[in-house]
Amino acid sequence: MSSALFIIDVQNDFTEGGALGVDGGAAVAAGISRYLDEHPDRYDVVFASRDWHDGANDNGGHFATAEDPDYVTTWPVHCVAGTPGAEYHPDLDTSDVDVHIRKGQGKPAYSIFEGETPEGVPLRDVLAERDVTEVDVVGIATDYCVRASALDALHEGKRVRVLTDLVAGVAPTTSTAALDELREAGVEIAHT
């Protein structure tokens, strides 16, 4: 039995100045790095996910191309594989990351569980191989990919915590609603 940290989508396009930047994104990147520096042995394995969208198509309707985005199911072009926007924020120290997960390759994807390693190994297989039973979730955005990843981890039978001082959301109202939903589902809402 082992513990894992899920670092969700701390990418340039989701931080200030990016295509879908959220307030506090850069602070989350720096905070996660500081937290891992201060607790180097806290986790048996550290995962980091990234949206890694195709640039030549609308990724299954995820990118708004014919109409304005609705910011619920359709979005501006973001995190296209190989572009600066898809890279991790420079304040996130990725030397602590053991497993990198790419998601959204040609399709909408919010949860880290919809992703795979660069070698094509699904996250679930890596978790089983490492016997992960407990997961802490941090990153961006509280009300979308953090929420989806935490719920999926819970549905996979993991003990799940969301560390609220290391997340940033799109909007305060939807972020609060997401944390309330997670708490009601059985996710522990905690602070580092």
CB contact at 8 A, 172 and 178: no
pLDDT of residue 65: 85
Domain residue ranges in the chain: 2-52+86-190
pLDDT of residue 26: 98
Single-letter code of the amino acid located at 60: G
Nearest-Å Rg of the Cα atoms of the chain is: 15
pLDDT of residue 67: 87
pLDDT of residue 31: 98
pLDDT of residue 112: 98
* This prediction's pTM: 0.96
Q: What average pLDDT does the chain have?
A: 96
pLDDT of residue 1: 87
CB contact at 8 A, 37 and 94: no
pLDDT of residue 20: 94
Left (φ > 0), alpha (ψ -120 to 50) or beta: where does 182 sit? alpha
How confident is the model over 52-86, as pLDDT tens digits? 999 989 999 999 988 899 988 899 999 999 999 99
- The candidate with the shortest Cα–Cα distance to 101, out of 129, 134, 125, is 125
Distance in angstroms (rounded) separating the CA atoms of residues 153 and 158 = 6
pLDDT at 45 over 90: yes
pLDDT at 165 over 90: yes
Cβ burial 130-159 (10 Å sphere, 16+ → b, else e): bebebbbbbbbbbbbbbbbbbbbbbebebb
What's the CATH code, domain 2-52+86-190?
3.40.50.850
Tell me which residues are annotated as active site: 9, 103, 145
pLDDT of residue 42: 96
How confident is the model over 5-33, as pLDDT tens digits? 999 999 999 999 999 999 999 999 999 99
pLDDT at 113 over 90: yes
